[in-house]
Chains A and B, each alone.
Chain A
Amino acid sequence: MHKVVVLGARFGGSATAYWLHKLFPARELEVTVVDQWTTMTYRPALVTAAAGHPALADQWHIAMKQRCEKAGQHFVRDTIMRIDPHQQQVHLASRAPLSYDTLFIATGTDPGWKTIPGLGAERGGVCEDYLARQSGDRLHRARSIVLAVGPLAQAPDDTPRLAGSLDAPAFEISFLTDAWLRQQNQRQNVKLTIITPASVPGEAFGPKNQALLARFLAQRHIDLITQAQYHHVEHDAIHLVGHLAVQADVMIWIPPYHGSELLRVSQLDDGYGWFPADPFCVHEKWPNIYGVGDISRTALPKLGHIAMMQARTAVHHFYALRHHGTPKPFNPYVLHVVWMGRGQGLLTLSNWLYGKGHEWAHPGVSSALAKSLFDYSYKLFSGWMPIMP
């Protein structure tokens, strides 16, 4: 049997495992999924936990091991140390190496906590369950809350260009916190600020969405500092280049994204920590290695929806290779809903970032409903939904 190993079991890895199960007959492949966690933390829900509801952080775990094993795949819980593309092996921390014929890498980007002096996970975050829970708890005692978006360390000649790691969660947390504070009649006592290295809010979405976001931020008295360059961080302040210090009782970071250490130590990166993928998500040098999701230099912006689409592209390409079909290249578009609080959402459907100029923005209750529907069905079907992007 052809041995397939999938590294990572969140949006990218899980969707890859789904398509491998869906497209291939069971006898054709032996699939092994590897992750350090047996459950997936569903990140889009973490913003609600960070916005003052810490208990929600523990309600969005999805049993990925169970999901994969139910489909006849193997699941290995271990830390991935290194990939050896010559020997076609994945080295693990506490087990013998895993051999593969085809490898899918979906291990995401590492948070760059150490790339800004004084920054660390203890300053506050949202990207993992424990960070979101902690931020949600700390918020209850805060008078000034800062949502900080770290920079995205792309390779210099990569296109399209984005300045921030991921700004959408910062807007979501600020809107949700604003609504939550208003509900308690506390809004006037708390200052909310967003800091981003981007020049506009929603830099990946397009001008219509950007204008809407700017308007909503102003309406809700949420301060926005754009084009920020971070100098250093202290426990109660973020210092920007140009001597501006922003005070914060609580800061919540979407950390800098600076690629993957796993790719670096395996010498599989583009020199900047990212997976050098062709339009079919195949490694530029190793044809039997695919890169999917946040780890890929072509996954822009770093969204779960993009990771799912890349998984589809990659597995369909792999299928076409083995069954003499014609694969379709990755054709990206951004589909996202920003939680706005008060039962509202801002739905974005756009390929503006890739120079194609289509952009649709829809604020309202129906957008929030669409997001809830997606979230709950993702949870219900453990990521393997009847209709996959």
Chain B
Amino acid sequence: MRFVLIVGLCVILATLIAIAAALVGTRLLARRVEHLLGSSPRTSILELFYSLQAWSWREIILTMRRAQSGKVAEHPMDSFVLSPSLLDQLAFDPATFHPNAHPHTHNISLTTQIGPRAKRPLTLRLPVLIAPMGYGIGLAADTKLALAQISSVIGTAASSGEGPFLPEERAYAQRWILQWSKGPWNHSRAVIKLADAIEIHLGQGAEAEIAVHKTHHLPRRLKRMAGQHQIVFHSGIPRDFFRLVPYLRRINPDVPIGVKIPASQHLEADLAILTALSLDFITIDGSEAGSAGSPAVISDHFGIPTASAVKRARDWLISRHIEGVSLIASGGAKGAADIAKLLALGADAVDVGSAILFAMSHGQVERLVPTFFQGPSALVFADSPKHRHPRLDIGQAVLHGTHWFEATAQELQVILQALGLGDVHNLSRQALIARTLEAQTLLELPTSQHVPGESGLSQQVSSLATEYQRLLTSLTEQFALLTSPRSVHRHA
């Protein structure tokens, strides 16, 4: 009993001492902070506060990276996007009386064809494609196989990306797009014959058309495949590019053939050249597009947004009465809302990359973070066998990736239902509302004139900007018309 009493008294005493210490400590800390706030920030930690006003974490990390490696700084996944992104500056116009909301979602058709002029068009159960991401230079083999499996159970297509041919990927994918790259592989007749569609990779949003050397993070199998060769993706347009399309068509005559380009300010001039080649589809990769690791000075500072590129490309095709060339939008689509907006702006299908990678790593990241301090990319990206981290669970990745696609399909149907549309092909710009002046101007959305609260002056400025944009477009088109036929003939 006495013992319990003594212990009790000790506990009370200790608690009192702790409270007193905490009070004194807090006061001391408060005094220190107060002093810090009042002192010169030049050398104190407060300097960070001022730095972060001007510097983003992105730039700070890239600066550190440059300092550590002395090399071009790169970062993976998405590119820098001004906030809010152009896609977020759009909303949908709900159906009310005319049209009426669609009665059901289950019979709303999402089926789409890429390259309808081809003998064997690529038929997709929904207008969403898995973006090209190559084995070894980007993704791990397991990730590629999981993506191929997802594509088949969903009814969309998988793409080789710029990496080497994986027999298992082709075996799993019911629809397989060969990306004909400027790299050292996949140019054999056999591989070309195996494709259900061929996309010639001229460049991409995160890399423009620069040369890319791959030396790091290469898995063993890729190194074996490359043999003694250095892995180089050449810059610019290949010398024999204008002979390439007919060559590919001779080998695999039935399938759609397209080209992927980065979205540039002179997009219309590019389109004039490309459409002269009688392509089946054109993929435009906007400035938001990410990669497994591209020079930040390119990925974050080049190109025009996907939304505006798609809008301009569709306008140009319509103005030239060009039909049957499918337009694939790529870069920055995070989910059904973004996809539907891009379709409404004129795309026939939309590539998704980062979104599906995130979805696939769902439920597996917790295995990485506490022990390895790595993010989802460690699960899905290719790496050298020296770096050890848990492997992707393919089964889980496929289930979650498929769920993401199924949810996206349902969300697309819900959007179409709310718009009063029974078929994804009926989605047009009329469905869109600009939430900002910038979106109204860039995308020439008719409803934008009714944006509430707009002052007379801002309305005038916006209509002036719209006019200017129209003038610019038509001038670019004229310029393209003047230059393109001659250049095409010269190369043909």
Enumerate chain A interface residues (CB-CB to B < 8 A): 36-37, 54-55, 57-58, 77-79, 81, 91-94, 113, 120-122, 128, 130-131, 133-134, 137, 236
Contacts and interface: CB of A to CB of B under 8 A. Distances in A.
Nearest to B153: A134
A54 B393 CA distance: 13
B191 interface: yes
B366 interface: no
Interface stretch (B169-177, B231-239, B301-309, B342-350): B169-177
B7 interface: no
A263 B165 CA distance: 23
Nearest to B151: A122
B25 to A, nearest CB: 53
A121 B165 contact: no
Contacts of B153: 121-122, 130-131, 134
B125 A81 contact: no
A78 B149 contact: no
A130 B172 contact: yes
B462 to A, nearest CB: 44
Interface stretch (B41-49, B395-403, B447-455): B395-403
Contacts, number: 73
Contact of A122 (B155, B168, B194): B155
27 contacts: A37-B167, A37-B168, A54-B395, A58-B394, A77-B167, A78-B167, A81-B190, A81-B193, A81-B194, A91-B190, A93-B167, A93-B170, A93-B191, A93-B194, A94-B164, A94-B167, A94-B190, A121-B155, A122-B125, A122-B152, A122-B153, A130-B153, A130-B398, A133-B398, A133-B399, A134-B398, A137-B402
Contact of B395 (A57, A81, A94, A131): A57
B113 to A, nearest CB: 14
Given A94-B165, A94-B191, A121-B152, 5 more contacts: A57-B395, A92-B190, A93-B165, A94-B190, A137-B402
Contacts of A55: 395
A78 B191 CA distance: 11
Nearest to A133: B395
A96 B395 CA distance: 33
B491 interface: no
A37 B125 CA distance: 27
Interface of B: 106, 125, 149, 152-155, 164-165, 167-168, 170-172, 174, 185, 188, 190-191, 193-194, 393-395, 398-399, 402
A89 to B, nearest CB: 13
A130 B394 CA distance: 10
B170 A36 contact: yes
Residue of A37, A92, A130 contacting most chain B CB atoms (<10 Å)? A130
A137 B403 CA distance: 10
B106 A236 contact: yes
Given A93-B188, A113-B174, A58 B395 contact: yes
B395 A79 contact: no
Contacts of A130: 149, 152-153, 172, 398
A113 B152 CA distance: 12
Contacts of A91: 190
Contacts of B395: 54-55, 57-58, 133
Contacts of B171: 36-37, 79
B371 to A, nearest CB: 23
A120 B168 contact: no
A54 B395 CA distance: 8
Contacts of B398: 130, 133-134
A131 B393 CA distance: 16
**Which 4 pairs across A and B sit closest by C-beta, in order of nearness?**
A122-B155, A130-B149, A36-B167, A58-B395
A79 to B, nearest CB: 5
A77 B154 CA distance: 26
Contact of A94 (B188, B393, B402): B188
Contacts of B149: 130
A81 B193 CA distance: 9
A84 to B, nearest CB: 13
Nearest to A34: B167
Nearest to B152: A121
A191 B186 CA distance: 48
A346 to B, nearest CB: 29
B168 A121 contact: no
Nearest to B145: A130
Contacts of B155: 120-122
A242 to B, nearest CB: 23
Contact of B174 (A57, A94, A120, A134): A120
A253 B153 CA distance: 13
Contacts of B154: 122
Of residues A77, A79, A131, which shows the largest number of chain B Cβ atoms within 10 Å of its Cβ? A79
A120 B126 CA distance: 14
A123 B394 CA distance: 21
Contacts of A113: 174
A81 B195 CA distance: 12
Contacts of A58: 393-395
Nearest to A78: B167
